[in-house]
Structure 1
Amino acid sequence: MTATLIYCYDPMCSWCWGFRPTWSKLQKALQGLIDEEKLSIQPMLGGLAMDSDAPMPNEMRAKLQATWQNIHQQLGTEFNFDFWQTNEPRRSTYPACRACYVARDFGLEEEMYHAIQQAYYLDAKNPSNLDTLIECAEHIGLKAEGFQKAMMHIEKEGLLEEEIEQARHLNLNSFPSLALLKGDQLISIRLDYQNHLSMLESIKKAL
């Protein structure tokens, strides 16, 4: 029986950006178990913030900038703070989540996830805006028109909201989160942002 490692994330979650190098190492370390069909990895979108056209309140802006500073100090993660001067931020991550959902259908979810993170954290572009997401889609080889149509379809059908509901049902309420689904048993995997080996051990032990 193949167990499933669920990785719950939001492409605009700054702690997910901080976790990215360690998560990449963990995925590589798990490749043997994946090849032996003992394990599969399933990404799940968490949905930090609903659709909104309202400018982000100053208090929230200050809080997020402090979070970026904190992650940079703790993990050495790079952030481009120009974002806060050159954009009008909105507390809205659902569009970026939908972009990853669209890319999943093309087998490009991780590529989209990384493109959005690159645009947001390094290039100081706003992934709450459709034009940034279209740019990310084209960067990973998707056609702008088809991408926009798929985004509208996912929004209309409420497909992202269904996935978010599923994540909540599994108690995956913080991002990133890792949990191992083995039969009908869900085992939470404690995150280690700086060393993938402790998580690897926990997963192997749970299997």
Structure 2
Amino acid sequence: MSSATLHYIYDPLCGWCYGAKPLVQAAQAVVPVQAHAGGMMTGRNRQAVSSQLRDYVMPHDRRIAEYTGQPFGQAYFEGLLRDHSAVFDSAPPIAAVLAAEALGGRGLELLGRLQTAHYLEGRRIADRDVLLELAQALGFATVEFEAAFDQVIGHELDEHIKASRALLAKVGGQGFPTLALERDGRYQLLDISSWLGKPEAFAEWLKTSLGADSGPHDGAIQACGLDGCAL
């Protein structure tokens, strides 16, 4: 069997990416997974938390919970989404994930922790202090992690997001999450809609299908758009 890589194009503030988290974790036991952050809520797309934002995202998030089985906490719905001093900005958590990857190949591990912190615990993952605290809790040395984080913010983040968007276009993805299986330089876009909430089945499909030329393409793809999640 030829070597394969599963490319995962995501955003840390994408609800459907959180919904797909168990699938990505299950896939890691089968095939190397490479994460690419698309920067959905960066720059002009950063948003301060407001009543309007809460009213918009809550039905969307409840649909994700129902569709995927992923839990959304009261600390998120009734805490973070009512905190009008908070800002939804993808750039800092993306930088933290890239720092974790640079330091120990643990970017996906930190991403999973950040998703839980945001959607279940209602933490402000755009805040530097929160990111450093969560990284330290995973065993990263604070000074080393902070230096890597600053390196990404200052010199690498914009190029990473640009490259991720280019890859998204190359594989034919429309939003986040996008998963594409690369074998021998060829990319196969995967429709994971039918696997959401079924990580074990997805892992089994990967095990038996890595040598095949086609994957599941049925159903309406559940994803966030390039500049935000639509209902």
Q: TM-score range by the shorter chain?
A: 0.7 to 0.9
Question: Runs in 1 of length 4+ with deviation above 6 angstroms?
Answer: none
Structure 2 equivalent of residue 120 of structure 1:
118
Structure 1 equivalent of residue 128 of structure 2:
130
Residues 71 and 77, structure 1, Cα contact 8 Å, conserved in 2: yes
Structure 1 equivalent of residue 61 of structure 2:
68
Q: What is the CA RMSD across the aligned residues, in angstroms?
A: 2.4
Q: Separation in 2 of the partners of 1:136 and 1:70? A: 28
Structure 2 equivalent of residue 24 of structure 1:
25
Q: 1:146 to 1:51 in 2, by over 3 A?
A: farther
Question: By how many angstroms is 1:122 displaced?
Answer: 1.6
Residues 41 and 47, structure 2, Cα contact 8 Å, conserved in 1: no
Structure 2: tracts of 5 or more residues without a match: 215-231
Q: 1:205 to 1:126 in 2, by over 3 A?
A: same
Letter in 2 for 1:190: D
1:15 paired with 2:16, answer: yes
Q: 1:59 to 1:202 in 2, by over 3 A?
A: farther
Report SS of the residue matched to 1:71: helix
Letter in 2 for 1:43: A
Structure 1: tracts of 5 or more residues without a match: 35-39
1:152 paired with 2:150, answer: yes
Residues 46 and 173, structure 1, Cα contact 8 Å, conserved in 2: no
Structure 2 equivalent of residue 85 of structure 1:
82
Structure 2 equivalent of residue 206 of structure 1:
213
Q: Separation in 2 of the partners of 1:87 and 1:58? A: 8
Length, aligned pairs only:
197
Residues 179 and 189, structure 2, Cα contact 8 Å, conserved in 1: yes
TM-score (norm 1): 0.83
1:49 paired with 2:56, answer: no
Identity %: 25
TM-score (norm 2): 0.75
Q: 1:27 to 1:108 in 2, by over 3 A?
A: closer
**Deviations along 1:138-177, whole A, 9 cap, x unmatched?**
11111223222222211111x1222222222222452211
Residues 37 and 161, structure 2, Cα contact 8 Å, conserved in 1: yes
Q: 1:189 to 1:61 in 2, by over 3 A?
A: same
Report SS of the residue matched to 1:8: strand
